[in-house]
Structure 1
Amino acid sequence: MEDTRPADSAAPKRARARNRRGEGSRLREDIVAAAVELLDEAGDERAITLRSVARRVGIAAPSIYPHFPDQPAIMLAVVRLEFAELETSLRASVEKAGDDPRQRLYAACHAYLDFARSHPERYRTMFGGLWMPVLGESSVTEGDLTTLGAETMQVIIDVLGDCVAAGQATSTDLYGDAVALWLGLHGLAHQRAVTRAFPWPEDIAERIITALAHLNEGPGPGVSPWRSSLRQ
C-alpha cells in the first residue's frame, strides 16, 4: 500500500542506532510502537504503511521484513497489543471491585466501555478495521483472526460464571450469553462513538448488562440495597 499522505505527516525520527546482537526484539517493539503512534495521530489505519512506519522509526523500509513480512502483520501485532491492554484493564477493574460477583461483572463491563471511549481509533481498528486482510492475500491466517481477543472474552466469561455460581445470574449457556453481553457492550460503544447527539438514558449500560447477563434483581454498581428497595 502506497503512502499517499503528505511527507510531513509521517515525520521521521533521527536515524536509529543499529541494534547490538540479540536486540532484534527491540526493533520489533519500536515498529509496533510507531504504528500505534501513527494510528493515534491519523485516526486511520491506512496511515500505517511500511514506508510510514520505517520513517517514524528511523530505519529503511526493508529493515522491517525480518520482523514483519507485510503491513497486515504489523497491524496484527498492533491489535494484539491493544487486546492485551484491554484485558489488563478489565482484570484490574475486576480486582478493584471487591468480592461481590455482580459488582465485578459491572466493573469489567464498564472498563470495557471506558477503554472504547478513551481509545476510539484503536478500538475501531481492533474490531475489523480497514486493515483486515482477505485471507490468503497476506501473512495473516484464519487462526490469527479467530483467536484475537480470546483472553478478553475469557474475563467476561469468568465474571459472568461467578455470578451464576453465586445465584446472581440465571444463565444456562455461559459462553453464548457472554458473547451476547459483549455484543451489547460493543454496540453501545460503537453508537456512542458515531452518534454525536442522542439522549442516552443515564443507566443504559446497566440495562444492557443486566438484561444480557440474565442478572437477578439486585443493586446495580454503586447502589446500596437500601436505596434499591425504595424503587420497589
Structure 2
Amino acid sequence: MFNGAVRRDLREDLIAAAVRMLAEPQAVAVPSLRAIARACGVAPSAVYWHFPSEAELRSAVLDAQYDDMVTSIEDALDAAGGDPLIVAGKAYIDWGLAHPGAYQLLFESDDAIPETRAPYGPRLQQRIVSLAAAVPGVDPFPAALLLWSAWHGIVSLRLHKREWAWGLTTDEANELVVRGLSAPRG
C-alpha cells in the first residue's frame, strides 16, 4: 500500500541518494573485455592472452590515447607557424573533439593514473608550461594551468552541450583565451 506521503518521501530519498552519489567523481569506463572481443570477432578468453586483466587493457588504452594526443600537439607545434600557444590550444581542442570517448577517459574520469603511467601527465604539462613561459609578466606554471583549464572547458562543453548556440568557433574561443592571458596587465 502506497499513499502520497510514502511516495513523496521515497521520491525525496531517491533524489537525495542520487545527489549524494553525484557528489563523488565517476569513472569513465573502457569498453568491457567482452565488447572488445566481440568487436574483434574473437572469444573473450582470447583477450586474456594479451591482457591479464581489464586494468592492464585500460592502461594500454590510456597509454595509446595520451601518446596520440600529445604527439598531435607536438606535431602541430613543429609544423605550424604563428603563436605557439594558439597552435597548441587548437591542436588540443581539435584532438579532444575528434576523440570524445578517449578525451573523457583521459580527462573527465576520476581514475588515478598508475605510477607506471606518470610521465604522461607531466609530458603535456611541461610542454604547456614551456609555451606559457614566453608570455611576459606571468608565472608560467599557473598560466599553463589556466590555459589547460580553458582548453578543457572548451572541449568538455562542446562535447556535452552541443545544443548551445556558441557564437564563436573553437578557434575563435581559443584565440580569445590565449590573447586574454597575453594581454598587458595594469
Conservation of the 8 A alpha-carbon contact between 1:95 and 1:104: no
TM-score for the superposition, normalised by structure 1: 0.57
In structure 1, give the amino acid aligned to 2:52: P
Consecutive unaligned residues in structure 2, runs of 5 or more: 1-27
Q: Which amino acid aligns with 1:207?
A: L
Tell me the percent identity: 23
Between Structure 1 and Structure 2, the one with more helix by share is: 2
Tell me what 2:25 maps to: none
Q: How does 1:111-130 map to 2 (within 5 A)?
A: 111-129=91-109
Structure 1 unaligned spans of 5+: 1-44, 218-232
Please give the secondary structure, in 2, of the residue aligned with 1:171. coil
Contact 1:171 1:177 in 2 (8 A): yes
1:145 shift after superposition: 6.2
Distance 1:170 1:122, change over 3 A: same
Instruction: Please state whether the residue corresponding to 1:189 is helix, strand or coil.
Output: helix
> What residue identity is the alignment partner of 1:152?
L
Does structure 1 conserve the Cα–Cα contact (< 8 Å) formed by 2:30 and 2:58? no
Q: Given that residues 87 and 152 in structure 1 are in contact (C-alpha distance below 8 angstroms), is that contact kept between their aligned partners in structure 2?
A: yes
TM-aligned CA deviation for residue 110 of structure 1: 0.7
1:159 matched to which residue of 2?
131
Q: Which residue of 2 aligns with 1:193?
A: 159
Q: Is the 8 A contact 1:113 1:189 kept in 2?
A: yes
Q: Cα offset for 1:148?
A: 3.9
**Alpha-carbon deviation of 1:69?**
2.8
Give the one of 183, 205, 226 matched to 2:174: 205
Q: Which moved more, 1:71-80 or 1:83-92?
A: 71-80
The reply to whether residue 64 of structure 1 matches residue 47 of structure 2 is yes
Are 2:143 and 1:177 equivalent residues in the alignment?
yes
Equivalent residue of 1:69, what SS? Answer: coil
User: How far apart are residue 54 of structure 1 and its match?
Assistant: 2.7
Which deviations, in whole Å up to 9, do the C-alpha atoms of 1:39-68 show, x marking residues without a partner? xxxxxx657222222333344434433532
- Tell me how far apart the structure 2 counterparts of residues 90 and 78 of structure 1 sit (CA, whole Å): 18
CA distance in 2, matches of 1:47, 1:207: 34
* Partner in structure 2 of residue 90 of structure 1: 73
Tell me the secondary structure at the aligned position of residue 48 of structure 1.
coil
- Specify the SS of the correspondent of 1:54: helix
Aligned letter for 1:122?
A
TM-score (norm 2): 0.69
Q: What root-mean-square deviation, in Å, do the aligned CA atoms of Structure 1 and Structure 2 show?
A: 2.7
Q: Is the 8 A contact 2:70 2:124 kept in 1?
A: yes
Q: CA deviation at 1:204?
A: 2.5
Q: In the comparison of the two structures, how many residue pairs are matched?
A: 154
* TM-aligned CA deviation for residue 175 of structure 1: 2.0
